[in-house]
Structure 1
Amino acid sequence: MNWADAAPLRVLGIESSCDETGIALVELPGGVRGAQPVRLLAHALHSQIDMHQAYGGVVPELASRDHIRRVVPLLRQTMTEAGHALASIDVVAYTRGPGLAGALLVGAGMACALGMALGKPVLGVHHLEGHLLSPFLSADPPQFPFIALLVSGGHTQLMRVDGVGAYTLLGETIDDAAGEAFDKTAKMLDLGYPGGPALSKLAEQGDPTAFKLPRPLLRGDNIDFSFAGLKTAVWMQQQRLVAAGTMTEQARADLAASTQAAIVDVLVAKSLLALKASGLKRMVVAGGVGANRRLRQQLDAQCAKRGVRVHYPELHLCTDNGAMIALAAAMRLQAGRAEPSLAYHFDVKPRWDLGAI
């Protein structure tokens, strides 16, 4: 059977770019020629947080080995929950990049081996495109065109999205990403790994106006980001508190809250600039930092004043996961923007510009 004639069309997604192993099965009820939205049938996820905590960050070799251990059990779990046999899969999608080379190779190897065993084609997917399109699995999916704010551990970008594969970069970070600013500040405050969620939790107990921290690149119409200077300012404030003997638990919470407020203020301001420049009235926020409560509150409030609709992934799909990879593959197939292959190459791209796909 020609996969393009499959209706429904089922796509398996495999995510292994960093420290989460994710497997998911999605379905296009009408196949690639249908207009129905993609349905998530089942997904399973394993996070390596506990393993990497002892090292204060991701250890690539350990990450790769853990993906090898987890991928087959997660595949079995997903197919069982979906109520489908492996033979019902029409296309196997995997994260081709960007990410850790060894970790990506685990997902690519699994996808190619499974595809060859089943006689089904495989398709490499861009990790950030998965995040970008993930709100289409939410209860309130967006419509094209929209402005997208991609905020994950290593990426902070604003893009105009006119359709699947039609992405125009408007602004990006010139040094540290927002997620890195969260994580590095958390490390200064001895909050452990992963730092972002821990810093946000501590910030709930603090005063966001306690310390005056910089909001980089807010002057003019520049849509690029910079968080390295903020990180330095936080470090200097921390050193002053330690030297004065006033680094109390409340001071730590205040510093966390002030840092979070500065990051969120920049993200919101740049997003509003992008919306104004584009004239669009719809926005998508995706990536791990998109789960931040203060960011959602501030962005929702400011966009509501301007008549802008904001869409987010479901909270459990903000982190890296297989569902977003399967979704991105299905939407690219539906839009005629990709052709899966029976070649089964182990071809990964640890560094891969989203604009180049």
Structure 2
Amino acid sequence: MEINQSKVTILGIESSCDETSASICRNGEILSNFIANQKVHEQYGGVVPELASRAHLQNIVPVIDIALQQAGVSLSSVDAIAFTQSPGLIGSLLVGSQFAKSLALSLNKPLISVHHMQAHVMANLIGVNKPSFPFLCLTVSGGHTQIVKVISTSEMQVIGETRDDAAGEAFDKSAKLLGLPYPGGPLIDKYAAEGNSKRFQFAEPQIEALDFSFSGIKTSILYFLQKETKKDPDFIKNNLSDICASIQAKIISILLKKLKKAALQTGIRELCLAGGVSANSGLRKSFQELCTNNNWKGYIPAFEYCTDNAAMIAITGYYRYISNEFSDLSVSASARAAWS
């Protein structure tokens, strides 16, 4: 099929976890990116899968309608439907995938399935300031931590990843140990801005190659807090900012040491961040300092494109559309689909 790249309009749908999001991308430009958050999970200290999928059922139609209205686009003018196929909560994924398949079938439009983590990487191609190929992307979220070598929009290679827990999980679990409400990662970032990052030290895992491990640092933080609160029950309350700053500094150090190692090994001088944790102000600052100090070019998506959102699905769908990479209606949602 010959494609006119100047007239491509993509509807992107994201429903991998607890945000229902829809976005319109036209000619590679994001026209709208609407997200409906689910506050119900806060009282449970984490996402409840059944409640998440029910909320997606309620939200998906109005969210898509709002995205279309904000973009000034009619549903009939959309050229293709892109959706998150994997990974994520299976119930949540099923809502988005089944809706996208039904919409594509009823409108007789092409369907494009998208891997959630590849879409996070592709968020760096939104806007004017884009990296050149090849580039390295440190992708950090609540469920994944990876270093990706990006050769083109359709060719990516994971060259390093976590062997156990993700960095985002380390932030959230540490916050829980500190008694902070869910989601705790952003609160650690908030308190860290006021603290001394060198006051407390935590164990750093010695993992070979470019892989990561965060289970050890969680254990180190747990034992540290148990020891200190046994001596002083108010230790956390009286030292919260310094504890948060020290935890954040250690996690960031682990991440950027491996990214620097990857850049030196590959000789690639264009580096990107992606994923929900890339919204962390401490990580963003340290990443830019790393790039500046080594004369590398650094790129970070705007905050709204870091956490789960449909714009990253739509931009991925756009590049797949112009490359004739489509899915058929037999494609199914998968909670843990392999990187492809």
Superposition TM-score tier, normalisation by shorter sequence: over 0.9
Q: Matched residues in 2 for 1:102 and 1:248: separation?
A: 37
Per-residue deviation, residues 169-198 of structure 1 (Å, max 9, x unmatched): 211111111000000000001111111101
Q: Matched residues in 2 for 1:162 and 1:212: separation?
A: 38
Q: Matched residues in 2 for 1:3 and 1:115: separation?
A: 20
Give the structure 2 partner of residue 197 of structure 1: 186
Give the structure 1 partner of residue 142 of structure 2: 153
Per-residue deviation, residues 227-263 of structure 1 (Å, max 9, x unmatched): 1110011011111121011514232222111110100
User: Does 2:336 align with 1:351?
Assistant: yes
| 1:257-272 matched pairs, under 5 angstroms | 257-272=245-260
Query: 1:87 deviation in Å?
Result: 0.4
Query: 1:333 deviation in Å?
Result: 2.3
Give the structure 2 partner of residue 14 of structure 1: 13
Q: Matched residues in 2 for 1:248 and 1:59: separation?
A: 28
SS of corresponding position for 2:235: coil
**Most deviating of 172-181 and 293-302:** 293-302
Contact 1:164/1:335 (<8 A) preserved:
no
Contact 2:137/2:272 (<8 A) preserved:
yes
List runs of 5+ in structure 1 lacking aligned partners.
Answer: 29-37
Contact 1:150/1:287 (<8 A) preserved:
yes
Query: 1:143 deviation in Å?
Result: 1.4
Query: 1:215 deviation in Å?
Result: 2.0
Q: Matched residues in 2 for 1:102 and 1:71: separation?
A: 14
Q: Matched residues in 1 for 2:2 and 2:105: separation?
A: 14
1:241 counterpart letter in structure 2: E
Contact 1:152/1:179 (<8 A) preserved:
yes
SS of corresponding position for 2:56: helix
Give the structure 2 partner of residue 227 of structure 1: 214
Equivalences, count: 339
Find runs of 4+ consecutive structure 1 residues off by over 3 angstroms: 2-7
Contact 2:112/2:320 (<8 A) preserved:
no
Contact 1:112/1:345 (<8 A) preserved:
no
SS of corresponding position for 2:334: coil
- The two structures have a TM-score, normalised by structure 2, of 0.96
Query: 1:7 deviation in Å?
Result: 4.7
Give the structure 1 partner of residue 201 of structure 2: 212
- The two structures have a TM-score, normalised by structure 1, of 0.91
User: Does 2:268 align with 1:283?
Assistant: no
Q: Matched residues in 1 for 2:5 and 2:128: separation?
A: 26
1:130 counterpart letter in structure 2: A
Q: Matched residues in 1 for 2:281 and 2:132: separation?
A: 23
Percent of matched pairs sharing the same residue: 38
Contact 1:234/1:255 (<8 A) preserved:
no
Q: Matched residues in 2 for 1:176 and 1:262: separation?
A: 15
List runs of 5+ in structure 2 lacking aligned partners.
Answer: none
2:93 counterpart letter in structure 1: L
Query: 1:217 deviation in Å?
Result: 2.2
Give the structure 2 partner of residue 32 of structure 1: none
Per-residue deviation, residues 135-182 of structure 1 (Å, max 9, x unmatched): 111342111100110101110001111112211221111111100000
| 1:1-357 matched pairs, under 5 angstroms | 4=3, 7-28=6-27, 38-48=28-38, 50-217=39-206, 222-245=209-232, 246-336=234-324, 338-341=325-328, 344-345=329-330, 347-354=332-339, 357=340
Q: Matched residues in 1 for 2:281 and 2:194: separation?
A: 14
Q: Matched residues in 2 for 1:163 and 1:192: separation?
A: 40
